Structure 1
Amino acid sequence: MNNWISALAELQQQGEPCVLVTIIEEQGSTPRNAGSKMVVSATRLYDTIGGGHLEYKAMHIAREMLATGQHGTRLERFSLGASLGQCCGGVTVLLFEPMGQVQAHIAVFGAGHVGRALVPLLASLPCRVRWIDSRPQEFPALIPEGVRTIVNEEPVDEVADLPKGCYCIVMTHNHALDLELTAAILKRNDFAWFGLIGSKTKRVKFEHRLRDRGFDPQVVQRMKCPMGLADVKGKLPMEIAVSVAAEIIATYNVNFGQATASAEPIAQLLPHSRRSQA
């Protein structure tokens, strides 16, 4: 089996989801090594946590997490014995961490200075990016992996093809186009997050125009403008890009970064003798 570190790097580079399984507690007559890890993909195992029925059961749980698209970490406590093919008792606690899952689908409208600073940042995250502009010459020669460039003379037409729950970023070179894109995105109203580049003054103008078109004020309130974290200051393209990327990370971590409802606190999973020493 390949080393789990190199296997994890390879799978992440390929964009293939996997689960990292780690022994975080083991007590028994023939203890395994706490800290041992293995990586489970849909079709392969990398490295080992000691083999046997426990490893087989861990593989089954990990692949079930992959099949159902679980994003949160999971802790499982196993009592060693006949159920796991062990002759003696003991307890093992395993940590399951989904890795390489796509956290967000992002549509970036605009390949100007800020777009060119932002998209490489987004590409380094567990995201898939659609980068849309009407001007092919604005895209850089080297496009980051995980980014699909789309040239369309009518960028608004691309809104209809966005996946539900998409993160939408509008930062084109044209205020009129920004307004049409905003109207199309808000009309769908099934996005996870929508940010529009601009000032508070631009937001007020857009709110008036959208209200005149009959948009519900509660829907318009979902628009982030100005966008980005307020604590990240600066007007340079990279400073704006970092601010916007930080807000997107914070948003998708709320949606995907929490432990699953079935994950119990670790103290409840550890053997009573160990808890009493804490």
Structure 2
Amino acid sequence: MSFDRNAVADAIARHGPVVRVVVADTRGSVPREVGASMLVWADGQSGTIGGGALEFDAAERARSMATDCALTQVPLGPALGQCCGGAVTLLSERFSAAPTGDIYARPTGNTPMPLSVKRLLAQARNGATPPRPQMVDGWMIEPIAPAAAPLWIYGAGHVGRALVDTIAPLPGFTITWVDTAPDRFPDQIAENIRALPTPDPAAAVALAPADAHHLILTYSHALDLELCHRLLGHGFASAGLIGSATKWARFRSRLLALGHTNAQISRICCPIGRPELGKHPQAIALGVASELILSVRSKETANKQTGDATG
């Protein structure tokens, strides 16, 4: 669980200053863990701290905050009539800009930085594992999440929509959704998704960063092939193609004829997802989402180990 700087910056860009409510401490049985958070603005919110009544009450208090920071202790049974029986401490903060750095440490009141917090920050600077979200002697500490991984999805059909619905709520990804025309997309698209209608989706590959993840699932095999061809010449973190073993065998031979090597072509995964889950769009989406999460986490772990070895 980390401070999602990208989500805060995006919400500010869309709505102006926002209030972030984070679970700072817990006692007993509670809906969510320390570090769970939500963002609140005048006419909306995103994320969740769980609990239904807890979340509703916290959002109302966030919208009426008279200060930039407030710490609230909530006994779930007596205060809200919830059956969890525990208690949560919520830290609500107003942001007009997202914080910088790798760790966000701030007082919950007027307490000067104690030695315990200085030690935790020093350990993190020296290469130790970043501290988990926690309150320490009147200070709230949270690691700031790494930059979100860019994910490009080509195709707004049933599988494309299932993928977007599944992945968009997850932290750690920024989604660019590509298809041939505006009417290919649903009427309502989440705010954190960039829809890119273009008559030539393959040309959009040039706009993607070289470290982006790509998922290809258009209505056209010819377009799918052209997207694979363009990606192999462009560079990518990962690429996946929907299709059968027969489709992929034909694509491999055609990509070889276009000048790509077997090693390059093998970087494209086909089929995508977890075949044992079935071919239902939501089943494909679940398999793809789990593989993406594991891939990104594996890269973050490798980067951390490299940093530890060279630090």
TM-score range, shorter chain: 0.5 to 0.7
Correspondences of 1:137-176 after superposition (within 5 Å): 137-176=183-222
Q: Deviations over 1:164-188 (max 9, x none)?
A: 2100010000000000000000111
Any idea what SS the aligned residue of 2:23 has? helix
Q: How much identity, in percent, do the aligned residues show?
A: 30
Show the counterpart of 1:17.
Answer: none
Secondary structure at 1:74 match in 2? coil
Q: Contact 2:176–2:193 at 8 Å: present in 1 too? A: yes
TM-score w.r.t. length of structure 1: 0.66
Aligned counterparts of 1:162 and 1:50: Cα–Cα separation in 2: 45
Letter in 2 for 1:146: N
Tell me, in whole angstroms, the C-alpha distance in 1 between the residues paired with 2:247 and 2:163.
21
**Superposition pairs for residues 202-213 of structure 1, below 5 Å?**
202-213=247-258
Encode CA deviations 1:159-213: one digit per residue, 9 max, x unaligned: 001012100010000000000000000111x211100000111110000001111
* Worse-matched range after superposition: 101-110 or 123-132: 101-110
For 1:109 and 1:3, how far apart are their aligned partners in 2?
A: 35
* Partner of residue 41 from structure 1, selected from 65, 76, 99: 99
Q: CA RMSD in A?
A: 4.1
How many matched pairs? Answer: 220
Q: Summarize the Cα distance change of 1:122–1:257 in structure 2 as closer, same or farther, 3 Å threshold.
A: farther
Q: Secondary structure at the match of 1:226?
A: coil
Change (3 A) 1:13 1:48: farther
For residues 200 and 90 of structure 2, what CA distance do their matches in structure 1 show?
A: 50
1:21-58 Cα deviation digits (max 9, x unpaired) = xxxxxxxxxxxxxxx99899339836379643437737
Give me the whole-angstrom Cα distance separating, in 2, the residues matched to 1:211 and 1:119.
31
Decide whether aligned partners of structure 1 residues 61 and 186 sit closer, same or farther in structure 2, where only a CA change above 3 A counts.
farther
Aligned equivalents of 2:149, 2:199: Cα separation in 1: 26
Rounded to whole Å, the distance in 2 between the matches of 1:226 and 1:234 is 12
Matches within 5 A, 1:101-116: 101-116=146-161
Q: Secondary structure at the match of 1:227?
A: coil
> What TM-score do you get using the length of structure 2 for normalisation?
0.59
Aligned with 1:245 (options 280, 289, 295): 289
In the alignment, structure 1 residue 196 sits paired with structure 2 residue 246: no
CA distance in 1, matches of 2:121, 2:153: 38
Change (3 A) 1:204 1:48: farther
Structure 1 residue 138: deviation in Å? 1.8
Within 5 Å, give how 1:10-89 maps onto structure 2. Answer: 10=39, 13=46, 41-42=99-100, 45=106, 47=108, 51-54=112-115, 57=118, 73-74=129-130
How far, CA to CA, are the matches of 2:109 and 2:21 in structure 1? 9
Return the letter of the residue paired with 2:160. Answer: G
* Partners of 1:108 and 1:132 within 8 A in 2: yes
Aligned residue number for residue 227 of structure 2: 181
| Partners of 2:151 and 2:173 within 8 A in 1 | yes
CA contact (8 A) 2:153 2:215 kept: yes
Structure 1 residues 95 and 56, CA gap change in structure 2 (3 angstroms) = closer
Which secondary structure does the structure 2 equivalent of 1:145 belong to? coil
Unaligned runs of 5+ in 1: 15-35, 77-91, 265-278
Gaps of 5+ in 2: 1-19, 25-34, 48-88
Query: How far did 1:73 drift?
Result: 4.1
Q: Secondary structure at the match of 2:304?
A: coil
Structure with greater Cα Rg:
1
Partner of 2:264: helix, strand, or coil? helix
1:222-237 maps to which residues of 2 (within 5 A)? 222-231=267-276, 233-237=277-281
